[in-house]
Amino acid sequence: MHHTPAPVVLILCTGNSCRSHLAEAILRHAAGDFLDVRSAGSKPAGYVHPLAIKAMAELGIDISGHHSKHMDEFLQQDVETVITVCGNADQACPVFPGQLNRHHWGFDDPAHATGDEAAQLAVFRRVRDEIKRVFEAYADGRRDQAKTTATPCT
């Protein structure tokens, strides 16, 4: 039986420090069995925001091992779907080899949140929950799609 590698879904943001990591972790959690989920930035910040790590830990998902990457790392790979989660990345987004799908779902940047840590964390939670809703629905849609297009192995 020939096992085709899972399609790569690349989630792009400008800094690859908050939103794209939240989305990557949530989508990987929801669809990790049939999608290969990655994230990158057009101008990577070089770190993953500590409050993003904290907000995901509340869901029992550890992203402390994630690192900030440049989207050019993926230009030599087959990327099936590109999802941009901020407007700037949508503008800067190149077309990747093998790319079939492109989605743009914009979310507020929680890194711009002001106030004390509790106030900032509240913004991270809100954005995390918005991302969770959108990306879990996307995973469900992909799962249904995979079921209808899958042919039985003979």
Catalytic choice (37, 79, 93, 121): 93
| Residues belonging to the chain | 154
Catalytic residue among 11, 12, 13, 52: 13
Catalytic (active site) residue 13? yes
Contact by Cβ (8 Å): 41, 16: yes
Residue 18 among the catalytic residues: no
- The catalytically annotated residue of 23, 27, 86, 89 is 86
Active site residues: 13, 86, 93
